[in-house]
């Protein structure tokens, strides 16, 4: 993609407005907390203190809207506390330019590395730097700065308290995550009716798994319908794939295929009903026809083959368990993987370890992001101070809030921030010039702008930036700054900050395109480990279950998501490919996806512990492990991998292996050879 096309694509992405479900009660609660903080602060300390506290309450509420599974009060408290520390240190150093620049550089560098811990942590850290640049201009003494820092922290406490006192749709995010996972499996079942090799997106299941991580207190209070249903959805997915697969499931044509389609349709109906019940906390309402299809007595005779009969029986049993477990009156579906959410303090060593690993890796995208954002923030602050515009902090503020570790988000947000700032400042300016509001009227307008920000937060960055810009203008107007002192230069300096952010990425990029081969190799290696673990279970059915298959599956899913995200980012980058074209990328992704799907089908038919070992399965697993390791190395070194030892192991097992193992291993080999063909055509 050329630079011109990349800029057009990112600009369209940044300016896009998305239709999302709004949460007016949650937005109203956050705005009410902000209004309470502003009113109390204004009555106690005047407009300047109210403006300072409002930034803390505003940012604390913004943190609670991020996609995190931690309790919302915790996010509000962490945001308020860290912001208060940032602003106090900023004010203490603010009187000395050199010292403040050192603090700004260190704080910005750490905020850039904070993205290693996830987008929620990265966004809170970046917001702390950005708001620090504004709030350090409000106090007049160190003691005054300490008071301002205290009221900023109090804003986080107020937002956390309101969440506890006035909960809105308790467990709502967890319900949505689980319902989305069930709906995804339902959609997969329906697509398998027409395409027995349909692809499956595991992201909703991964999201639901993350959402299931709870604290001990949450585990005691979690609704019953959130227990166990996710585990059933995980087990249903491979059964669906095995039933639809013509090699090991229902025959490709005839009455058996028709009956399989009926079962798949019934599975989709049951899972959709369960998704609705979980999402709304309502009783489960399953269409009677779906249950009747699952209980049809002649199903085993019609399906014919033993693997197909086994898959149909397992599917019916699992869906019956879903019917019993979903809904507020359901009972637990047996034992479930309990995922404990680690405390914040226990995460600190983990984050430090990850950050140290990123710092030691010279081409780390997070390290490069930290260096870029540090250079831009300090350069923007110096340029803003040197220009005869006043309020020079707008340039580094815009840059810090726009920059992200990847190209497309940085450029899209830079464009969106400037467009949103221009519109928001124009609207707020018009209101100020026509109405000339006083301090309390400005506070009311700021709260109204904040409410609109919270309400439209997930509709797009441009829309949000319109109201954020208006919020800041009204808030600073309440503190005594005239519109003529803030608006014109803010537009110019915001443009300057966006340009600096774009130039920084162009001059010191972290392109994903050259790393596509490494991402593909990682996915292949993870998928092969999963396939080998499944084959090991066929070779040793009596082996004590250690969770190795499950862990390998999770690793393969994570590698697949990393691959897809890399492909999506690379699609918008203005660089030439280096050994993996768009055509080869698509074909290679399909091949490894088919490999993972074949392993899933094999997992659906894992033998009972009392079953006899499958001849040849151990040799196949060993050959697959070795070949995959060498194949991953070949992909990284731009060689075409070969799979002769896997074929030799399959040929040796053809006569004696279990039919399911034989058919599954054949599909594994075919997908590996398809991968080699895609890479050889490069």
Instruction: Give the per-residue pLDDT at 560.
Output: 95
Instruction: Give the per-residue pLDDT at 105.
Output: 94
Instruction: Give the per-residue pLDDT at 592.
Output: 95
Question: Closest by alpha carbon to 19, among 451, 452, 459?
Answer: 459
Are 80 and 156 within 8 A, CB to CB? yes
pTM, rounded to two decimals: 0.88
Instruction: Give the per-residue pLDDT at 218.
Output: 76
Mean pLDDT within 111-125: 90
Quote the CA–CA distance of 86 and 104 in Å, as a whole number: 10
Helix (H), strand (E) at residue 108:
helix 97-113
Instruction: Give the per-residue pLDDT at 49.
Output: 80
- In this structure, what token pair is assigned to residue 257? 């295929």
Could you tell me the CA-to-CA distances from 81 to 76, 78, 478, 637 in Å, in that order? 9, 5, 24, 48
Could you tell me the CA-to-CA distances from 215 to 61, 124, 169, 225, 260 in Å, in that order? 22, 22, 19, 17, 41
Instruction: Give the per-residue pLDDT at 430.
Output: 84
60-89 residue pLDDT tens: 999 988 888 888 888 999 999 999 999 888
Contacts of 539 (CB under 8 A, 6+ apart): 613, 614, 617, 618, 621
In the chain, the percentage of residues whose pLDDT exceeds 70 is: 95
Are 51 and 138 within 8 A, CB to CB? yes
Quote the CA–CA distance of 1 and 9 in Å, as a whole number: 10
Instruction: Give the per-residue pLDDT at 158.
Output: 93
Instruction: Give the per-residue pLDDT at 370.
Output: 94
Least confident segment among 326-330, 405-409, 560-564: 326-330
Cα-flanking dihedrals φ and ψ of residue 658, to 5°? -60, 140
Q: What is the 3-state secondary structure (H, E, C) of 441-496?
A: HHHHHHHHHHHHHHHCCCCCHHHHHHHHHHHHHHHHHHCCCCHHHHHHHHHHHHHH
Quote the CA–CA distance of 544 and 537 in Å, as a whole number: 10
Mean pLDDT within 509-514: 88
Q: Is pLDDT at 450 greater than 90 in this prediction? A: yes
Q: Is pLDDT at 135 greater than 60 in this prediction? A: yes
Mean pLDDT within 308-329: 85
Mean pLDDT within 635-660: 87
Q: Is pLDDT at 140 greater than 80 in this prediction? A: no
246-260 residue pLDDT tens: 888 888 888 888 888
Beta bridge partners of 340: 214
Q: What is the DSSP letter of 508?
A: S
Confidence of residue 348 (pLDDT cuts 50, 70, 90): confident
Q: Is pLDDT at 498 greater than 80 in this prediction? A: yes
Mean pLDDT within 279-304: 81
- Cβ-based burial of 274 (10 A; exposed 0-12, middle 13-18, buried ≥19): buried
Instruction: Give the per-residue pLDDT at 336.
Output: 54
Instruction: Give the per-residue pLDDT at 531.
Output: 94
89-106 residue pLDDT tens: 888 887 788 888 999 999
Confidence of residue 216 (pLDDT cuts 50, 70, 90): confident
Helix (H), strand (E) at residue 205:
helix 203-211
Instruction: Give the per-residue pLDDT at 255.
Output: 87
Q: What is the CA radius of gyration of the chain?
A: 28
Q: Which residue has the higher pLDDT, 343 or 13?
A: 13
């Amino acid at each position: 993609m050329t630079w011109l096309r990349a800029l057009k694509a990112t600009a369209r992405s940044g300016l896009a407005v998305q239709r999302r479900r709004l949460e007016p009660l949650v937005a109203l609660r956050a705005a009410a907390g902000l209004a309470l903080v502003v009113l109390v602060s204004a009555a106690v300390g005047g407009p300047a203190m109210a403006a300072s506290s409002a930034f803390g309450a505003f940012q604390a509420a913004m943190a609670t809207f991020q996609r995190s599974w931690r309790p919302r009060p915790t996010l509000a408290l962490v945001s308020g506390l860290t912001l208060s520390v940032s602003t106090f240190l900023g004010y203490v150093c603010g009187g000395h330019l050199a010292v403040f620049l050192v603090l700004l550089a260190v704080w910005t560098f750490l905020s850039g590395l904070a993205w290693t811990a996830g987008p929620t942590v990265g966004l809170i850290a970046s917001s702390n730097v950005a708001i620090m640049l504004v709030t350090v201009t409000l106090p007049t003494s160190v003691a005054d700065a300490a008071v301002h820092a205290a009221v900023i922290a109090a804003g986080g406490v107020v937002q956390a308290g309101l969440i506890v006192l006035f909960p809105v749709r308790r467990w709502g995010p967890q319900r949505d995550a689980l319902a989305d996972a069930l709906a995804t499996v339902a959609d997969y079942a329906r697509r398998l009716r027409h395409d027995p090799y349909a692809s499956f997106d595991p992201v909703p299941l991964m999201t639901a798994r993350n959402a299931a991580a709870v604290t001990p207190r949450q585990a005691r209070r979690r609704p019953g319908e959130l227990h166990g249903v996710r585990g059933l959805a995980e087990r249903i997915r491979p059964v669906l794939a095995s039933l639809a697969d013509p090699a090991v499931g229902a025959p490709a044509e005839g009455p058996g295929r028709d009956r399989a389609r009926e079962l798949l349709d019934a599975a989709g109906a049951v899972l959709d009903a369960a998704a609705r019940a979980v999402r709304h906390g309502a009783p489960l309402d399953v269409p009677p026809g779906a249950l009747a299809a699952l209980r049809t007595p002649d199903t085993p005779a019609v399906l014919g083959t033993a693997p197909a009969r086994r898959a149909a029986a397992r599917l019916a049993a699992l869906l019956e368990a879903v019917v019993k477990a979903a809904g507020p009156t359901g009972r637990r579906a047996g034992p479930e993987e309990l995922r404990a959410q680690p405390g914040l303090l226990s995460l600190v060593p983990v984050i430090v370890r990850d950050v140290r690993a990123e710092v030691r890796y010279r081409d780390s995208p997070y390290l490069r992001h930290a260096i870029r954002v540090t250079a831009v923030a300090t350069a923007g602050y110096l340029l803003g101070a040197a220009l005869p515009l006043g309020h020079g902090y707008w340039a580094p503020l815009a840059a810090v809030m726009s920059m992200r570790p990847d190209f497309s988000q940085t450029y899209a947000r830079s464009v969106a921030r400037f467009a949103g700032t221009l519109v928001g400042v124009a609207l707020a300016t018009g209101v100020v010039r026509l109405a000339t509001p006083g301090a309390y009227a400005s506070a009311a307008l700021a709260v109204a702008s904040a409410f609109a920000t919270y309400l439209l937060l997930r509709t797009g960055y441009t829309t949000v930036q319109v109201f954020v810009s208006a919020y800041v203008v009204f808030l600073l107007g309440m503190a005594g700054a005239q519109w003529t002192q803030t608006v014109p230069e803010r537009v110019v300096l915001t443009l300057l900050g966006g340009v600096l952010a774009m130039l920084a990425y162009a001059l010191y990029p972290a392109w994903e395109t050259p790393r596509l081969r490494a991402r593909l190799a990682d996915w292949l290696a993870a998928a092969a480990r999963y396939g080998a673990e499944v084959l090991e279970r066929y070779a040793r059915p009596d082996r004590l279950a250690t969770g190795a298959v499950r862990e390998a599956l999770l690793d393969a899913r994570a590698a697949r998501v990393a691959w897809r995200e890399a492909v999506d980012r690379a699609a918008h980058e203005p660089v030439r490919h280096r050994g993996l074209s768009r055509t080869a990328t698509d074909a290679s992704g399909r091949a490894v996806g088919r490999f993972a799907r074949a392993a899933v089908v094999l997992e659906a038919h894992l033998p009972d512990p009392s079953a006899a070992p499958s001849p040849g399965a151990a040799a196949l697993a060993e050959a697959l492990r070795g070949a995959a390791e060498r194949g991953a190395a070949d992909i990284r070194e731009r060689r075409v991998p070969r799979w002769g030892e896997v074929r030799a192991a399959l040929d040796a097992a053809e006569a004696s292996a279990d039919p399911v193992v034989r058919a599954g291993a054949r599909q594994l080999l075919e997908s590996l050879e398809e991968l080699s063909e895609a890479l050889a055509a490069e």
